[in-house]
């Protein structure tokens, strides 16, 4: 059940990236993936789809680490 929600989130993020050409972090920054998503190379497209899932998670971790270092 829990993993199903994660899969739904991943699919939603991938669909948004394919539609708009970018992904957004949880703090509002954008990462442009349009060139990679439009590539003829299936390897590049798959890399971009993985990046659109990883970007929000990695930036959140970085933000928490910076916030923690302030205290």
Q: Dump pLDDT digits (tens) for 18-70.
A: 999 999 887 788 999 999 999 999 999 999 999 999 988 887 677 777 777 77
Full-model pTM: 0.74
Asked if 52 and 33 count as a contact pair (C-beta separation under 8 A), the reply is yes
Does the structural domain 2-69 have CATH classification 2.60.120.10?
Answer: no
Alpha helices in 1-71 (DSSP H): 2-20, 34-37, 42-69
Q: How far is CA 1 from the centre of its chain?
A: 22
């Amino acid at each position: 059940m829990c993993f199903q929600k994660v899969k739904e989130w991943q699919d939603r993020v991938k669909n948004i990236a394919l539609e708009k050409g970018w992904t957004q972090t949880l703090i509002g920054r954008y990462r442009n993936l349009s060139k990679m998503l439009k590539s003829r190379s299936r390897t590049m497209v798959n890399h971009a789809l993985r990046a659109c899932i990883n970007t929000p998670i990695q930036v959140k971790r970085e933000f928490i680490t910076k916030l923690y270092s302030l205290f």
